[in-house]
Amino acid sequence: MTDAQDLRRRTAELLAAHPPATTDRLEFLRARFDAGLAWVHFPAGLGGLDAPRSLQAVVDAELAAAGAPDNDPGRIGIGLGMAAPTLLRFGTDEQQQRFLRPLWTGEEVWCQLFSEPGAGSDLAALATRAVRDDEGGWVVDGQKVWTSSAHLARWAILIARTDPDVPKHRGISYFVCDMTDPGVEVRPLRQITGEAEFNEVFLTGVRIPDAHRLGAVGEGWKVAQTTLMNERVAIGGARIPREGGMIGVAAADWRARPALRTHDLHQRLLKLWVDAEVARLTGERLRQQLTKGQPGPEGSGMKLAFARLAQEISGWEVEFLAEDGLTYDDWTMRRPDGVDFTGREAGYRYLRAKGNSIEGGTSEVLLNIVAERVLGLPPEPRTDKDVAWKDLPR
């Protein structure tokens, strides 16, 4: 069984064979993947060693101390946090071998084609259609929205309706879509921050081979649940040190500006600090549970807490900084590689945090998930669960 000592030995061997100071970055990342040190809990041959997930920290610490390059996780977060766990659970051997290595090294960026203009909070009501073609593949037509990184992505995880004659949750299938297909059109969506981190994506006659389907036909909702559960953990459950993240920035502002302090702001900051620490420790416990299997509905609670805290902390910071908190220096139309909450000005953080309660599942939907699947409360009445999708009002 792989233990911490064995991982340190393997890491030392990787560093000796591929010194970070003289090895090309991509070459090093590929070698790390092949050595099973990319994500140690993945199977051997797929970037891992079948080791406990908790031991990844041992490898990361050794490599960081040696100055080894990382895979720029902020840029490829959708691939790492959503596509990879889904491919691991539902992908064929061929799909895993084809997609996981370039996904982890960052050679191929991924995006998520789930939300639609008419099916945001009610994702199962999606209308994008996938129809069988004469060659056994699929032709996809529809529109997706709020697609982070679509302007960078080579591949997308996509859910589409393959059977309109059954209830909405049962007529969905899950695919891997090539974003370079000529039928894919990506348009920027300019946000309140001034930039276009999100996109809308139009799919017109996009052909997808059946070999790029994950899971059985009509069972896409089941596959999508794995993606969504991992997405919520990825958004709300990132590992940070004590007083890390946005609360760390707010605390640093407080210490640096004694002239702006008031008793009321101090009391509110203390409460936010405690809430952030509770959320951080809860996240640690959730990650320990992940070592035993796939994330469950508890990740929805973490994502809820993350969204609330991000909005409350950024609001506190803008109020504390007064006029200095109202502006930031780059309100221009850009298409960034990712989101940097702690490296930007308070005004940017305040505006961008408004999206935290929408992305990865709206807070309203997540409250229902926590109520029903974590607390065991009675579900809300739903009259559309046994009605064919084509008969639902739209």
Between 243 and 66, whose confidence is greater?
A: 66
Are 187 and 200 within 8 A, CB to CB?
Answer: yes
pTM for the full predicted model: 0.88
**What confidence tier does 236 reach under pLDDT thresholds 50, 70, 90?**
low
Contact status, residue 173 vs residue 212, Cβ threshold 8 Å? no
| 18 confidence band (pLDDT: 50, 70, 90) | very high
**Paired tokens of 275:** 């809430």
Spell 87-115 as b/e; 16+ CB within 10 A means b.
Answer: bbebbeeebbebbbbbbbbbebbbbbbbb
CATH superfamily for 237-374 is Butyryl-CoA Dehydrogenase, subunit A, domain 3 (1.20.140.10)
Highest CATH level, class, for 79-88+108-218: mainly beta
Segments of the chain assigned to CATH 2.40.110.10: 79-88+108-218
* Long-range pairs for 354-359: beta carbons < 8 A, 24 or more residues apart: 354/192, 354/311, 355/191, 356/235, 356/306, 356/307, 356/310, 356/311, 357/307, 357/308, 357/311, 358/120, 358/146, 359/146, 359/148, 359/235
Domain with CATH 1.20.140.10 in the chain: 237-374
**Catalytic residue set:** 231
Q: Which two tokens stand for residue 127?
A: 């209308």
Going by pLDDT thresholds of 50, 70 and 90, the confidence category of residue 288 is low
Q: Is 107 or 288 the better-scoring residue by pLDDT?
A: 107
| Cross-strand partners of 129 | 141, 161
**DSSP strand pairing (138-144 vs 184-189):** unpaired
Average pLDDT on 160-179 reads 97
What is the rounded CA–CA span in Å between residue 272 and residue 267? 9
The per-residue pLDDT for range 314-325, each reduced to its tens digit, is 999 999 999 888
**Res. 233 pLDDT band, cuts 50 70 90:** low
Secondary structure (3-state) at 113: strand
Mean pLDDT for the chain? Answer: 90
Q: What was the pLDDT predicted at 287?
A: 67
Percent of the chain with pLDDT over 70: 95
Greatest mean pLDDT among 63-67, 282-286, 341-345? 63-67
Q: What is the pLDDT of residues 239-268, one digit of tens each?
A: 678 888 899 999 999 999 999 999 999 999
With cut-offs at 50, 70 and 90, classify the pLDDT of residue 326: confident
Helices (H), the chain: 4-17, 25-34, 56-65, 77-78, 84-90, 93-105, 220-236, 245-256, 263-290, 298-321, 346-352, 363-369
- Mean per-residue pLDDT for 39-50? 95
Average the pLDDT over 275-300 and give the result. Answer: 74
What is the mean pLDDT of the segment spanning 158-182?
A: 97
Task: Tell me: pLDDT of 274 over 60.
Answer: yes
Averaged pLDDT for residues 223-237 = 76
Identify whether the C-beta of residue 323 lies closer than 8 Å to the C-beta of residue 194: no
What is the reported pLDDT for 313?
96
Measured at the alpha carbon of residue 55, what is the angle toward residues 54 and 60, in degrees to the nearest 5? 110
Token pair for residue 183?
Answer: 């039928």
Residue at token pair 């997706």: 144
